[in-house]
Amino acid sequence: MTVRLFGHWTCPYVNRVDFTLAQRGVEFELVNVPPSAVRPADFALPEEFVANSPRLEVPLICVDGEYLADSIPILHFLDDRLDAPSLRPVGHPERVERLDEILMRSMGGVAYGTDPDRIDRAAERLAEAFAEMAKWLEDSDWLAGAGPTLAEAIAVPIYLRLPGLVALGFNRSLPPAVADHRDRTLALPGGRHVAWSAAQADEYLGRHRKARRLAG
Protein backbone atom coordinates (compact mmCIF):
# COMPACT_ATOMS: atom_id res chain seq x y z
CA MET A 1 0.00 0.00 0.00
CA THR A 2 1.33 3.43 -0.97
CA VAL A 3 0.33 6.42 1.15
CA ARG A 4 1.28 10.03 0.48
CA LEU A 5 0.32 12.99 2.63
CA PHE A 6 0.54 16.45 1.09
CA GLY A 7 1.02 19.01 3.82
CA HIS A 8 3.27 20.91 6.19
CA TRP A 9 3.93 21.02 9.93
CA THR A 10 2.55 24.58 10.21
CA CYS A 11 -0.99 23.40 9.38
CA PRO A 12 -3.03 22.11 12.35
CA TYR A 13 -5.20 20.02 10.04
CA VAL A 14 -2.11 18.30 8.65
CA ASN A 15 -0.92 17.66 12.22
CA ARG A 16 -4.09 15.62 12.77
CA VAL A 17 -3.48 13.33 9.81
CA ASP A 18 0.27 13.09 10.42
CA PHE A 19 -0.40 12.04 14.04
CA THR A 20 -3.01 9.47 12.98
CA LEU A 21 -0.81 7.78 10.38
CA ALA A 22 2.12 7.54 12.78
CA GLN A 23 -0.06 6.39 15.67
CA ARG A 24 -1.45 3.59 13.51
CA GLY A 25 2.02 2.56 12.40
CA VAL A 26 1.45 3.37 8.73
CA GLU A 27 4.49 4.11 6.58
CA PHE A 28 3.88 7.12 4.35
CA GLU A 29 5.57 9.81 2.32
CA LEU A 30 5.11 13.44 3.37
CA VAL A 31 5.08 15.71 0.33
CA ASN A 32 5.97 19.21 1.47
CA VAL A 33 3.16 21.61 0.55
CA PRO A 34 2.73 24.62 2.87
CA PRO A 35 -0.81 25.89 3.58
CA SER A 36 -1.79 28.95 1.55
CA ALA A 37 -1.38 31.27 4.56
CA VAL A 38 2.37 30.67 4.67
CA ARG A 39 2.98 29.46 1.11
CA PRO A 40 5.71 31.46 -0.66
CA ALA A 41 4.49 33.24 -3.79
CA ASP A 42 7.04 31.37 -5.89
CA PHE A 43 6.26 27.93 -4.42
CA ALA A 44 5.65 25.43 -7.21
CA LEU A 45 2.66 23.28 -6.30
CA PRO A 46 3.04 19.63 -7.37
CA GLU A 47 0.88 18.85 -10.40
CA GLU A 48 -0.60 15.87 -8.55
CA PHE A 49 -1.70 18.17 -5.74
CA VAL A 50 -3.22 20.74 -8.10
CA ALA A 51 -5.16 18.04 -9.92
CA ASN A 52 -6.66 16.50 -6.78
CA SER A 53 -7.04 19.24 -4.14
CA PRO A 54 -10.29 21.12 -4.88
CA ARG A 55 -9.30 24.27 -2.94
CA LEU A 56 -5.52 23.87 -3.30
CA GLU A 57 -5.35 23.47 0.46
CA VAL A 58 -3.70 20.88 2.68
CA PRO A 59 -4.05 18.22 3.86
CA LEU A 60 -4.51 15.98 0.85
CA ILE A 61 -4.08 12.23 1.19
CA CYS A 62 -3.41 9.65 -1.51
CA VAL A 63 -3.84 5.96 -0.77
CA ASP A 64 -3.05 3.71 -3.72
CA GLY A 65 -4.13 6.40 -6.18
CA GLU A 66 -7.30 7.38 -4.31
CA TYR A 67 -7.32 11.02 -3.19
CA LEU A 68 -9.20 12.87 -0.49
CA ALA A 69 -8.97 16.36 1.02
CA ASP A 70 -10.16 17.85 4.36
CA SER A 71 -8.83 16.48 7.62
CA ILE A 72 -11.84 14.90 9.37
CA PRO A 73 -13.06 13.09 6.23
CA ILE A 74 -9.46 11.94 5.76
CA LEU A 75 -9.32 10.55 9.31
CA HIS A 76 -12.50 8.52 8.75
CA PHE A 77 -11.34 7.46 5.28
CA LEU A 78 -8.06 6.17 6.69
CA ASP A 79 -9.90 4.28 9.41
CA ASP A 80 -11.93 2.46 6.75
CA ARG A 81 -9.21 2.09 4.15
CA LEU A 82 -6.08 1.06 6.02
CA ASP A 83 -5.27 -2.35 7.42
CA ALA A 84 -4.12 -0.98 10.77
CA PRO A 85 -5.60 -0.71 14.28
CA SER A 86 -8.67 1.52 14.27
CA LEU A 87 -8.74 4.86 16.08
CA ARG A 88 -12.45 5.48 15.59
CA PRO A 89 -14.20 6.15 18.92
CA VAL A 90 -16.73 3.49 19.85
CA GLY A 91 -18.35 4.99 22.93
CA HIS A 92 -18.35 8.68 22.04
CA PRO A 93 -17.93 9.16 18.26
CA GLU A 94 -19.62 12.58 18.43
CA ARG A 95 -16.70 13.99 20.39
CA VAL A 96 -14.46 14.15 17.30
CA GLU A 97 -16.65 16.77 15.61
CA ARG A 98 -17.38 18.45 18.94
CA LEU A 99 -13.68 18.96 19.62
CA ASP A 100 -13.18 20.39 16.17
CA GLU A 101 -16.02 22.83 16.86
CA ILE A 102 -14.93 24.05 20.28
CA LEU A 103 -11.14 24.06 19.85
CA MET A 104 -10.24 25.34 16.41
CA ARG A 105 -12.13 28.62 16.28
CA SER A 106 -11.08 29.67 19.77
CA MET A 107 -7.46 28.72 19.03
CA GLY A 108 -7.56 30.84 15.88
CA GLY A 109 -9.07 33.75 17.80
CA VAL A 110 -6.09 33.77 20.14
CA ALA A 111 -3.41 33.14 17.52
CA TYR A 112 -4.68 35.49 14.81
CA GLY A 113 -6.32 38.12 17.01
CA THR A 114 -5.12 41.70 17.08
CA ASP A 115 -7.70 43.35 19.35
CA PRO A 116 -7.00 42.63 23.06
CA ASP A 117 -10.67 42.29 23.94
CA ARG A 118 -11.30 39.81 21.15
CA ILE A 119 -8.20 37.85 22.06
CA ASP A 120 -9.44 37.69 25.65
CA ARG A 121 -12.86 36.45 24.56
CA ALA A 122 -11.23 33.78 22.41
CA ALA A 123 -9.05 32.79 25.38
CA GLU A 124 -12.19 32.41 27.49
CA ARG A 125 -13.82 30.20 24.85
CA LEU A 126 -10.68 28.07 24.72
CA ALA A 127 -10.72 27.77 28.53
CA GLU A 128 -14.36 26.63 28.33
CA ALA A 129 -13.37 24.02 25.75
CA PHE A 130 -10.64 22.71 28.04
CA ALA A 131 -13.15 22.58 30.91
CA GLU A 132 -15.46 20.43 28.78
CA MET A 133 -12.56 18.14 27.91
CA ALA A 134 -11.70 17.85 31.62
CA LYS A 135 -15.21 16.51 32.29
CA TRP A 136 -14.75 13.85 29.62
CA LEU A 137 -11.47 12.84 31.26
CA GLU A 138 -13.11 12.15 34.63
CA ASP A 139 -13.92 8.57 33.59
CA SER A 140 -10.96 7.76 31.35
CA ASP A 141 -7.40 8.76 30.57
CA TRP A 142 -8.53 9.43 27.00
CA LEU A 143 -11.08 11.74 25.43
CA ALA A 144 -13.46 9.31 23.77
CA GLY A 145 -12.78 5.81 25.01
CA ALA A 146 -10.51 3.49 26.92
CA GLY A 147 -7.55 4.27 24.66
CA PRO A 148 -6.34 6.88 22.15
CA THR A 149 -8.78 7.63 19.35
CA LEU A 150 -9.33 10.21 16.62
CA ALA A 151 -10.29 12.62 19.41
CA GLU A 152 -6.61 12.75 20.39
CA ALA A 153 -5.77 13.57 16.77
CA ILE A 154 -8.08 16.60 16.99
CA ALA A 155 -6.47 17.74 20.25
CA VAL A 156 -2.86 17.35 19.09
CA PRO A 157 -2.62 20.64 17.13
CA ILE A 158 -3.78 22.58 20.19
CA TYR A 159 -1.26 20.83 22.43
CA LEU A 160 1.59 21.56 20.01
CA ARG A 161 0.67 25.25 19.93
CA LEU A 162 -0.19 25.72 23.59
CA PRO A 163 3.09 27.40 24.68
CA GLY A 164 2.74 29.82 21.77
CA LEU A 165 -0.91 30.45 22.54
CA VAL A 166 0.03 31.33 26.13
CA ALA A 167 2.54 33.86 24.80
CA LEU A 168 -0.11 35.23 22.43
CA GLY A 169 -2.78 35.80 25.06
CA PHE A 170 -4.17 32.54 26.45
CA ASN A 171 -3.81 33.50 30.11
CA ARG A 172 -6.13 30.94 31.71
CA SER A 173 -5.12 27.94 33.79
CA LEU A 174 -5.09 24.57 32.10
CA PRO A 175 -7.21 22.03 34.03
CA PRO A 176 -4.90 19.41 35.60
CA ALA A 177 -6.74 16.59 33.82
CA VAL A 178 -6.14 18.26 30.46
CA ALA A 179 -2.48 18.96 31.28
CA ASP A 180 -2.02 15.27 32.10
CA HIS A 181 -3.83 14.26 28.93
CA ARG A 182 -1.60 16.58 26.89
CA ASP A 183 1.48 14.85 28.29
CA ARG A 184 0.05 11.37 27.62
CA THR A 185 -0.96 12.29 24.08
CA LEU A 186 2.38 13.82 23.16
CA ALA A 187 4.14 10.74 24.58
CA LEU A 188 2.28 8.44 22.16
CA PRO A 189 4.06 7.28 18.99
CA GLY A 190 1.94 9.73 17.00
CA GLY A 191 2.64 12.51 19.46
CA ARG A 192 6.40 11.95 19.32
CA HIS A 193 6.21 11.90 15.54
CA VAL A 194 4.54 15.32 15.24
CA ALA A 195 6.40 16.96 18.14
CA TRP A 196 7.79 20.38 17.30
CA SER A 197 11.42 21.32 17.65
CA ALA A 198 12.34 24.48 19.53
CA ALA A 199 12.98 26.15 16.17
CA GLN A 200 9.49 25.25 14.92
CA ALA A 201 7.88 26.56 18.12
CA ASP A 202 9.85 29.80 17.77
CA GLU A 203 8.84 30.13 14.13
CA TYR A 204 5.16 29.68 15.00
CA LEU A 205 5.27 32.36 17.68
CA GLY A 206 7.41 34.72 15.63
CA ARG A 207 5.11 34.50 12.63
CA HIS A 208 2.05 35.46 14.66
CA ARG A 209 3.84 38.24 16.50
CA LYS A 210 5.01 39.65 13.17
CA ALA A 211 1.43 39.51 11.82
CA ARG A 212 0.26 41.50 14.85
CA ARG A 213 2.96 44.12 14.38
CA LEU A 214 2.04 44.53 10.71
CA ALA A 215 -1.62 44.86 11.65
CA GLY A 216 -0.71 47.71 14.00
- Identify whether residues 112 and 71 lie together within a single domain: no
Residue 84 has a pLDDT of 81
pLDDT band at 13 (very low <50, low <70, confident <90, very high): very high
User: Domain range for residue 161?
Assistant: 94-215
- Identify whether residues 106 and 15 lie together within a single domain: no
Q: How do residues 22-52 score in pLDDT, each as one tens digit?
A: 999 999 999 999 999 999 999 999 999 999 9
From 81, 113, 128, the end of a domain falls on 81
> Would you say residue 182 lies in a domain?
yes
For 89, residues 6+ apart whose C-beta sits below 8 A from its C-beta are 95, 96, 144, 145, 149, 150, 151
- Identify whether residues 118 and 185 lie together within a single domain: yes
Residue 5 has a pLDDT of 98
Residue 83 has a pLDDT of 84
From 53, 81, 109, the end of a domain falls on 81
CA angle 65, 66, 67 (to 5 degrees): 115
For 33, residues 6+ apart whose C-beta sits below 8 A from its C-beta are 6, 7, 8, 39, 45, 46, 49, 58, 60
Residue 67 has a pLDDT of 97
Residue 151 has a pLDDT of 98
> CATH no. for residue 139?
1.20.1050.10
Question: Which of these, 170, 156, 179, 151, lies nearest to 72 by C-alpha position?
Answer: 151
* Mean pLDDT in residue range 127-151: 97
- Identify whether residues 106 and 23 lie together within a single domain: no
- Identify whether residues 98 and 70 lie together within a single domain: no
- Identify whether residues 59 and 22 lie together within a single domain: yes
Number of domains in the chain: 2
Residue 183, burial from CB neighbour count under 10 angstroms (0-12, 13-18, 19+) = exposed
Q: How do residues 170-214 score in pLDDT, each as one tens digit?
A: 999 999 999 999 999 999 999 999 999 999 999 999 999 999 999
- Identify whether residues 154 and 76 lie together within a single domain: no
pLDDT band at 133 (very low <50, low <70, confident <90, very high): very high
> CATH no. for residue 63?
3.40.30.10
Is the pTM higher than 0.95? The answer reads yes
pLDDT band at 90 (very low <50, low <70, confident <90, very high): confident
- Identify whether residues 77 and 105 lie together within a single domain: no
Residue 143 has a pLDDT of 98
Sign of the C-alpha dihedral computed for residues 49, 50, 51 and 52 taken in this order: positive
Whether the per-residue pLDDT at 60 is higher than 90: the answer is yes
pLDDT band at 8 (very low <50, low <70, confident <90, very high): very high
Task: Determine the length of the chain.
Answer: 216
> Would you say residue 74 lies in a domain?
yes
- Identify whether residues 65 and 98 lie together within a single domain: no
